[in-house]
Chain A
Amino acid sequence: MDAAVSHHTCKELLVSLSDYLDGEAAEALCAEIERHLADCEDCRVVVDTLRKTILLYRTLPPPSPPQTIRARLLHALELDKDAP
């Protein structure tokens, strides 16, 4: 079910979520966030799905450049010719 996270405390928490998930939030802030999460189901869902989102894109295989790109690049830059 869709509903906006709109409560004042929730909005304040939202601003610090990246720091929290990156382990960069101060200990006191972490404790405050965790206290809030224990009582706020909406924010818990946002935190869990945000963490999962980060996990998914960080484990996404990177796109590979075309195999011919190196040869074409060296040719365009005239690096495939013998030095004068």
Chain B
Amino acid sequence: MTKELPAPTLLSPELLDEAYEQRLLERIRAGDRTACAECIDLHSAGVYRLALRMVGDPHEAEDIVQETFLNAFRTIDSFEGRSSLSTWLYRIAYNAALMRLRKKQPLHVSIEPYVDEEETATTPVQLFDWCCLPEEDFQTAEARNELERAIGELPEPLRAVFVLRELEGLSTEETAQALDLSVSNVKVRLHRARLWLRERLSGYFTELAQRSQERN
């Protein structure tokens, strides 16, 4: 039997309430400014987190949040409700982040669907069992920084899938809608992101575990 892993828990109850979202949308379309502020309160943190993980810079992430809501309220009439409002907002933010990344690295970032699936295929080479480390070693500021750095270094085609599915708690289908990918592509990318992170973190935790063994 597999041990149960905790589910991502960032979704608030309002985000899951379809009737509430429908009323909110109607109010935004009717020009209700309080509804726009409510929408911002509900969704800006998630949009910010995605933007930050994508571009890695808090100021730029804030610009993307602003761009996202400006764009969303301006085009709210074109939102057909085939996805949830949050999925639509994530999609706008993702595209805005991608445009910025493309401007910075025009040769390396593509807005086209990911085609070279083998590019980031991950065959495990780190085979030291670092799970033996005491729990407090996983909870240090250094370990958390290492994990943050690793997430920031995830190959771009894997990063958005990882953030939406694993950190923001979207379903596979919602992630696929937000990023305009197929469900199977989301699953493949998520799996590769996990293996990539395991490999990347193994370097750090193996060294820590070996140092600890030498001391004892």
User: What residues of chain A have their CB less than 8 Å away from a CB belonging to chain B?
Assistant: 1-6, 11, 14-15, 17-18, 20-23, 30, 42, 44-46, 48-66, 69-70, 72-74, 76-77, 79, 83
**In the complex, are the beta carbons of B124 and A46 less than 8 A apart?**
yes
Given the known A-B contacts A2-B127, A48-B129, are A73 and B40 also in contact in the complex, defined by CB atoms under 8 Å? yes
Q: Which B residues, 156 to 212, have Cβ-Cβ distances below 8 Å to chain A?
A: 166-167, 187, 190-191, 194-195, 197-198, 201-202, 205
A-B contact pairs, 25 of them (CB 8 A): A1-B128, A4-B124, A4-B125, A5-B124, A5-B125, A5-B127, A11-B123, A15-B191, A17-B191, A18-B194, A20-B2, A21-B2, A21-B5, A46-B127, A49-B131, A49-B201, A49-B202, A50-B198, A56-B201, A57-B147, A58-B7, A62-B167, A66-B62, A74-B40, A77-B66
User: Which of B6, B52, B143, B198 touches A46 (beta carbons < 8 Å)?
Assistant: B198
> Inside 8 A of A45's CB, which chain B residues have their CB?
127-129
Tell me the bound Cα distance from A76 to B37 in angstroms. Answer: 12
Chain B interface bracket (under 10, 10 to 19, 20 to 34, 35 or more):
35 or more
Does B54 interact with chain A (Cβ within 8 Å)? no
- Which of chain B's residues has its CB closest to A78's CB? B33
Tell me the bound Cα distance from A54 to B190 in angstroms. Answer: 11
Q: Which B residues, 22 to 63, have Cβ-Cβ distances below 8 Å to chain A?
A: 33, 36-37, 40-41, 44-45, 48-49, 52, 58, 62
> Inside 8 A of B151's CB, which chain A residues have their CB?
57
User: Which of A50, A56, A72 touches B66 (beta carbons < 8 Å)?
Assistant: A72
5 additional A-B pairs beyond A1-B128, A5-B124, A60-B148, beta carbons within 8 Å, are: A11-B123, A45-B127, A51-B2, A62-B49, A72-B62
User: Which of A1, A11, A46, A53 touches B201 (beta carbons < 8 Å)?
Assistant: A53
